[in-house]
Structure 1
């Protein structure tokens, strides 16, 4: 009867193979302990991590790696008793290298049970997490020192971390936010839209402002809303991709912008006043450069005044306009055309010789717009137009009266 090579293989050779496999693990120290916590086997990775050679550690208690304060407190024995009673456990704490240097270790301790169920020893692994802990501590420090509310959100849109500024801004405690969906901080009427923005970012993660061009609002714990500005950044971590959201309260900035806009509007109204100088005659003195916004306000103000006063003549005085270009001319023509639709005749005054030459050179056609050199001349023309209209109206009235007498 033949016997397979596996059946007759030397157990010592199998043990050597196992030790070689354990020695190939370089990121963790692997230690076999006896029932009392003494070192039975010491891997090369343990030697590389701690600086102790195998001959220095065999038979010695593993508490040699603990700090003096932990040895005095009997921490190593407490860990062994916990694992003996409860099974495999993971701990984290400071350990010592041979040269006295401390390192933060993530320790996994597993009991090795005999056939009768008693614990005959332990397998202990140590992983040096000093650098990752330092990086995590630095990250948390940066998060806490950020001037804005900072949130770290997972792929499932649930909050992983929140800093102190988030508590201040939203009124929630951090523990209340952790594990909840980010939409808890968004007003109900915006939540469906916010989910679309959030999913869009996760599909194409890159640093960018959220909802560019839109007005975004946050929701405090007390139910009050406030305008916010949000910047998003992807974070690649060992646990997968996370999203960092920086949230800033822009209430004060919005109020400042609105106040400045009101001031600009008031200045525009003062810089383009529509003056009623005579019954049915308006004068619009234009001073300074015309841009699109100002020209729009100019036209709106003139038309409103025409509607209120039933004016029949509007004088556009451009003596205060430094230059006339094609764009300015187009703005003026639009104003004149809008006034004509309301039955008002427009007159341009203050056309200086250089302005007239410039308009001719540019080929600007002002159509049938009447013009005069001075405001006085324009007023005289306006009165003549009114008299002419009045005479025409009187003649029409007489004609109607005569016709009715017959």
Structure 2
């Protein structure tokens, strides 16, 4: 979406054409659908997120009224909203998840109002802000989904690519289908165990690093008895990242100098940063189990044709088809979570997976020729 500054809109002089009326009816239907989407999402939220979503629905209602005023008597002939918004509202009603929020973010980013003469500058500016608001809400959801979910998605993708590449390379050497199946099962177990152990060590290391970095509360109880002065405590708090003013205020509090002339709000330094960090990293065991299971599930897909008795080129083609569909799904999910185009990420994932398989297949052909 073009985020260039908005220029003043010239006033409309002529009566609207039939094409204008059709377009405005579509805008009206889309605004109504978007307002309904935000209300449906709000029903699955509480607190601040619910309030924000209801405010967005209220803003879409203002846009809806604009098109009603322009259409006048023609507003009584409603049309269906776009297929994208119909699907989005269905997903919002059924799931209300971060994926729906990510799709809503992309929908706001495609607003045509910046180049629509009949829309006001305020409406175009609203849509730009709405995109950023939804981006913020989607980011909260992505943070809650990172950790174990991240390990699951990428574990499945790694299983798909690595085991497909393995069986393609082994199969190209000319060995029997039974040996290809055995190699695939061995690759599944070895990769799943490696991924699970790696995720556990990674997450545990991150949490241990945070524990080592998180400030202790020794100064709360020990400060009155320590042989140090306020200046040294100031150094302690500045080392933790506080400003000079905040550090001086905190040091005065800890040493009982309650007569300091400081802003009382500086006393409020909740350790939320570390709590959020723990939430985003997740549990080591959860990440390990998710990674193991989803890698194994992904690695199972390429060997399914061999497990059901297919051989030769038929098994290869069916394996490529199954893995291709799975790569498109995982790539699309990653695209949604990152706020990028699901289709672009899906086809990129497909190209990477098939590229790796092609490389090992050619290597297997070379070894098979030399061995033969």
Query: Which protein is bigger by CA-based radius of gyration?
Result: 1
Does TM-score exceed 0.5, indicating one fold?
no
Higher helix share goes to which structure? 2
Q: What TM-score, normalized by structure 1, do the two folds share? A: 0.19
TM-score, normalised to structure 2, is 0.20
Higher strand fraction (1 or 2): 1
Higher relative contact order (CA 8 A, sep 6+): 2
